[in-house]
Amino acid sequence: MGMRRWGYQVDLYNIKKKRQLDLGGYDLIGIGSPVYYYGPPFILTDYIKSLPDLGGLPTFTFVLHGTYPFDTGKFIRQVLASKGARDIGYFHCYGADYYLGFLKEGYLFSPNHPNSAELSSAEDFGSQLVERFAGKPYSLTEEDQPPPLIYRLERFLLNRWLTEIFWSRFFKVDKQSCTMCGLCKKICPCINIGQDEDGYPVWGCDCLLCLSCQLKCPQDAVITPISWPLVRPFMIYNVHRASKDPSIEHVRVKHSKGRTRVLGPK
């Protein structure tokens, strides 16, 4: 809205379409990303790494995070810089964190975010981009911090290679509960879910570990490694750390059959 207020045309593009956008004719490119496992999701990483040489094209980055963004924005900006982009801005704010691992522990972080103040700041950021694009001086900021050791370990264990050869192999469906509604296939951001000869969902290896299939299943029929006892200590640690952080809002919730019900603030 901040850029449109100045009369600029703004086009939105969903990289879920899995095709490279023709950048010809664009004067400014923005890359927006959620934070998955304390970094950008694989689909976003693939996209920016596949960009052609940008030849000094101005770019900006914005990140939405439920708990800690750590160096997610910095990584994106560094890849864009390696493509020859000229960085003119970075913005990040909280967003409601419907990550199933946290919901199963009974916590929804950053509910009702982005809030009105954050949306207003985002609009102001858009206006600042217009000014910088027109030539106003801009000093790059390096506010992102690398994650502490435990989060780096989590990020390593959930990297692209291990997801493809290990984690993705353990996604399955309880055929006694599944109604073959097709919702999991429809909402998968990587188009990674197909059907077997009987119509039940089957998973490929092109997975983000977003867990949307399990999160939204109206029958709780999707089974993933997030339910393993081996994984739970990490979830407990993450929830404990974030729930004790006064800068991160949270509410207690109950998640079941694709729905999250708020129980209370603490």
Q: What burial class does residue 193 get, using C-beta atoms within 10 Å of its C-beta: 0-12 exposed, 13-18 middle, 19+ buried?
A: buried
| Domains defined for the chain, CATH in brackets | 4-133 (3.40.50.360), 149-264 (3.30.70.20)
Tens digits of per-residue pLDDT, 210-263?
Answer: 999 999 999 999 999 998 998 999 999 999 999 999 999 999 999 999 999 999
State whether residue 86 is helix, strand or coil. Answer: strand
**Averaged pLDDT, 139-168:** 90
pLDDT given at position 5: 72
pLDDT above 70 covers a percentage of the chain that reads 96
Count the Cβ atoms, other than its own, within 10 Å of residue 134. Answer: 8
Count the Cβ atoms, other than its own, within 10 Å of residue 34. Answer: 18
Give φ, ψ of 63 to 5 degrees: -130, 135
Tens digits of per-residue pLDDT, 161-192?
Answer: 999 999 999 999 999 999 999 999 999 998 99
Distance between CA atoms of residues 224 and 171, nearest Å? 5
Strand intervals (E) in 122-258 = 172-173, 193-195, 201-203, 222-223, 250-256
Distance between CA atoms of residues 160 and 164, nearest Å? 6
Tens digits of per-residue pLDDT, 39-91?
Answer: 999 999 999 999 999 999 999 999 999 999 999 999 999 999 999 999 999 99
| Count of helices and strands (H, E) across the chain | 9, 10
pLDDT given at position 264: 65
Range 98-103 contact pairs with CB under 8 angstroms and sequence separation of 24 or more: 98/66, 98/215, 98/260, 99/66, 99/211, 100/211, 100/214, 100/215, 100/226, 100/255, 101/211, 101/226, 101/231, 101/235, 101/238, 102/66, 102/235, 102/238, 102/239, 102/242, 103/215, 103/253, 103/255, 103/260
Query: Which single residue is written with the structure tokens 């207003």?
Result: 120
Burial 4-29 (b: 16+ CB within 10 A, else e): eeeeeeeeeeebeeeeeeeeeeeebb
